[in-house]
């Protein structure tokens, strides 16, 4: 199983989209500073994730969420009342 996840920086509100087979482990890596691109923006909190049967499906979704329209989808999800974001 592959997961596409979106995390949000508690420091500055930035979002980061990634792919992993273990979201919990990956979030720990982001928060421990092991990921160069996210290190300056920690701490991170999981915003949402989606599961996929294949790596190819997950990669396609990751690419979409990193696109302009995908970023708008994430921002819309964040701004909706009752969103899982806190």
Residue 54 lies in a domain: yes
Q: What is the pLDDT of residues 65-76, one digit of tens each?
A: 999 999 999 988
Count: domains in the chain: 1
Q: Find out whether 30 and 46 touch, Cβ atoms under 8 Å.
A: no
Residue 85 lies in a domain: no
Residue 59 lies in a domain: yes
Q: What is the pLDDT of residues 8-53, one digit of tens each?
A: 999 999 999 999 999 999 999 999 998 899 999 999 999 999 999 9
Tokens of residue 65, six digits: 């969420």
Residue 86 lies in a domain: no
Residue 66: domain span: 2-79
**Non-local CB neighbours of 3 within 8 Å, separated by 6+ positions:** 19, 20, 21, 22, 23, 49, 50, 51, 52, 58
Residue 27 lies in a domain: yes
* pTM (predicted TM-score): 0.86
- CATH, residue 70: 3.40.1440.10
């Amino acid at each position: 199983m592959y997961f596409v996840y979106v995390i949000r920086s508690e420091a500055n509100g930035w979002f980061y989209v990634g792919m992993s087979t273990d979201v919990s482990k990956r979030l720990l890596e982001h928060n421990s500073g092991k990921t160069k691109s996210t290190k300056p923006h920690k701490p991170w909190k999981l915003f949402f994730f989606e599961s996929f049967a294949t790596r190819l499906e997950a990669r396609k979704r990751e690419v979409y969420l990193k696109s302009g329209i995908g970023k708008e989808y994430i921002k819309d999800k964040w701004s909706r009342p009752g969103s899982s974001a806190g």
